[in-house]
Structure 1
């Protein structure tokens, strides 16, 4: 238990009704979790407004309520505190409640449209190989040293973040690498955290269903860097046209990385093959199992970050050479018929384009590229025709299918993808609603040495339709379909 006034340190209060000199048990923003002597923070969400559940929280035993508007009925014995922004208040309260755990380790945030999961996961792997106790907060999983927890969001809620960081303190974790989404920044989930550094990977078309304009999406990402303390470092990809924008207002140490431009950390791709690529970093040549220009950028960001965090440069390069592909990120195998099968998380136009550029750069020209791809339901609709255009333009055969249609009819989504297909590419297109059948069709169309790309889901192991999740793993489905051809 803690004193209410202690967990309010740093919170700007506009009105107070009741005493702050009381002991509180837990902090919640979900009224269903509130028990006796807890604090309830009423947060305005995209679907529900926590202010509508204040009375329910009080009935469940809340001893204090933090809100943007006082309710009409205020119960005696309950402390009500008014703030301008409940999300910001919750972020500060969460850090205080867990005794500001981010200050006791080096926390590095990674943001950008693509590459967040790869960069954070590989940094976790590299620092673990280097002998440190490391934490990871990513889309795929949460790691506290060697203990794994399931991930639910790219950026967890602020209470979960600080709870995980507190557990990391208990485990003696020295470094933590965290994916930071634009949603998380906009909803103030990163406020109250003390970052030792932040990385910008790239920015392209995504989440415009949420942010409405690209400028708003960009400026939301930028806020992570604007808020960094002077003691932190900011590492930005300046080959991306928004790379320098991220550095404009930060007080932190400004650092850049690039493959094509002048930068503090520069890299070069010397050789590409399907089983890896030869890179030149800091005048040293290094062979890596990760392929593609996008992975060259990811590895350069990892190298620069490890350097800034004090690791030996030659040791970093040695460890990079040992790193394996992240689940669902250009994860591939070769079938008995010598068909190259690739699964990738590419679910944005830029990511899909980058993967297909990589594949087309590695092919000899005598094989076909068959792409299976869909677009998520209840998400940014404007990218659907763009995805359809890229898949049909850059593949020999494209199969449009379902990818978490959620509440939308799958064929409506597929038709919007078809709208982006140029007339000369219409004969390349097949539309198959069932994702499993689409993968099987791709395998039947493939001949020896052909390349199949199944894009969009990557590490996800489910398909979400009308609120129901069913088991579905692209990698396993692809393996099963190719194996069945040999029976």
Structure 2
């Protein structure tokens, strides 16, 4: 048990009813999890308001309640704490509850529309290869040293984050690389953490179902940099015009990276092949298995972070040459018929465009590019016609299909994608609702040396429809479809 007033250290309180000098067991923001002597934080969510469940939490044994509005009936023996923002309070309390573990290691946050998973994961891999105990908080998985935990969100809830960081601290982890999503920042899940540095990769059309405007989306990302201390570093991609915006109000030391602009860290692509590319980085040549301009940016960010954290430059380059692609990020498979299938998480217009630019740059001229792509249900609808336009414009054949329909009709989502197809490209588009059948069709249409891109889901191994998740793995499906061909 822990002393309530210690957990509340640093929390802005506007009213207190009851005793803070009491022992409590745990903190919960889900009333269903509350047990005897716990603290309940009444967070206002996108679906429901925790204030509706204060009495339920008290009935379940809560000893203290943190809320933005005090209930009309205050029960004797229960401590009520009024705060301006329950999300912020929860973040600070979670950090205190676990002993502020982010202070015990070097925590680097990576934010941006695309590249977060690759940069965070490859930094973890690089430091592990270098002999350090490292941590990872990513979309794909959570790593505490060599121990793996499944990931449920890009940025876990604040209690889970601090729990993982406490485990890392106990295991002697020296540095942790954390994806920081715009949702996570907006919901204050990154507050209360002590960052040694933050990275901005890029910003493009995404999550406008949540943030409503691009400016709001951008400014949410910026809050991560606004909150950095003087001791931290802020590393931004200045080939993206939003890079300098991120650094406008930061107290951290500022660093930049770019392929096209003058920057502190620069790289140049010297040669491209399907099995890798040659980069000139910091006046040294680096052969990497990761291809595409987007990966050149990712590698440049990785190099810069490792340098800023103190690794020796030639050692960084040596370790980078050994890095493999991240699951679902430009993973490719070549069939016995010499058909190349690429699976990529590209689920935004910018990411899809970047992958197709990379593929088209590697073509020798005679191969067809066949793109299988869908858009997620219950998410930003405005990007659907844009995705449809890009796929049909930049491919020889585009097959529109389901992604994760969630509660929406797959046919409706596909129709919205079709609205972005220009007249001259309509003959290049097929619409097949079943993702499995769409992948099979792409494989049947492909001939030797053709390239199939299956975009949107990447590392995900499920499809979600009306709250039900069924097993589905793009890489597995495309391999099976290609291997069953009789050409």
- In 2, the alpha carbon distance for the partners of 1:304 and 1:472 equals 36
Task: Give secondary structure in 2 for the equivalent of 1:13.
Answer: coil
- In 1, the alpha carbon distance for the partners of 2:219 and 2:468 equals 34
Aligned ranges for residues 81-480 of structure 1 at < 5 Å?
81-480=81-480
- In 2, the alpha carbon distance for the partners of 1:73 and 1:426 equals 64
Measured against aligned partners, the alpha-carbon deviations of 1:242-282 in whole angstroms (never above 9, x if no partner) come to 11111111000000000000000010000000000000110
The structural deviation recorded for 1:171 is: 0.3
Measured against aligned partners, the alpha-carbon deviations of 1:150-185 in whole angstroms (never above 9, x if no partner) come to 000000000000000000011000000000000000
- In 2, the alpha carbon distance for the partners of 1:75 and 1:431 equals 60
- In 2, the alpha carbon distance for the partners of 1:467 and 1:72 equals 36
The structural deviation recorded for 1:17 is: 0.4
The structural deviation recorded for 1:75 is: 1.5
| 2:26 paired residue number | 26
Task: Give secondary structure in 2 for the equivalent of 1:322.
Answer: coil
The structural deviation recorded for 1:411 is: 0.3
The structural deviation recorded for 1:76 is: 1.1
Measured against aligned partners, the alpha-carbon deviations of 1:86-135 in whole angstroms (never above 9, x if no partner) come to 00000000000001000000000000000000000000000000000000
Measured against aligned partners, the alpha-carbon deviations of 1:299-356 in whole angstroms (never above 9, x if no partner) come to 0000000000000000000000000000000000100000000000000000000000
Task: Give secondary structure in 1 for the equivalent of 2:70.
Answer: coil
- In 2, the alpha carbon distance for the partners of 1:132 and 1:323 equals 16
| 2:36 paired residue number | 36
Task: Give secondary structure in 1 for the equivalent of 2:14.
Answer: strand
User: After the TM superposition, which segments of 4 or more aligned residues of structure 1 sit over 2 Å from their partners?
Assistant: none
The structural deviation recorded for 1:193 is: 0.2
- In 1, the alpha carbon distance for the partners of 2:340 and 2:95 equals 48
The structural deviation recorded for 1:73 is: 2.0
- In 2, the alpha carbon distance for the partners of 1:482 and 1:156 equals 37
Measured against aligned partners, the alpha-carbon deviations of 1:456-475 in whole angstroms (never above 9, x if no partner) come to 00000000001100000000
Measured against aligned partners, the alpha-carbon deviations of 1:47-100 in whole angstroms (never above 9, x if no partner) come to 010000100100110000000001122211100000000000000000000010
Task: Give secondary structure in 2 for the equivalent of 1:196.
Answer: strand
The structural deviation recorded for 1:225 is: 0.3
Matched, 1:2 2:16: no
- In 2, the alpha carbon distance for the partners of 1:155 and 1:260 equals 31
| 2:58 paired residue number | 58
- In 1, the alpha carbon distance for the partners of 2:247 and 2:258 equals 15
- In 2, the alpha carbon distance for the partners of 1:399 and 1:75 equals 61
- In 2, the alpha carbon distance for the partners of 1:280 and 1:226 equals 32
The structural deviation recorded for 1:486 is: 3.6
**Unpaired segments of 5 or more residues in structure 1?**
none
The structural deviation recorded for 1:365 is: 1.0
**Unpaired segments of 5 or more residues in structure 2?**
none
TM-score (norm 1): 1.00
| 1:75 paired residue number | 75
- In 1, the alpha carbon distance for the partners of 2:262 and 2:15 equals 52
Measured against aligned partners, the alpha-carbon deviations of 1:368-399 in whole angstroms (never above 9, x if no partner) come to 00000000000000000000000000000000
Matched, 1:46 2:46: yes
Task: Give secondary structure in 2 for the equivalent of 1:459.
Answer: coil
- In 1, the alpha carbon distance for the partners of 2:84 and 2:137 equals 29
Question: How well do the aligned residues superpose, as a CA RMSD in angstroms?
Answer: 0.6
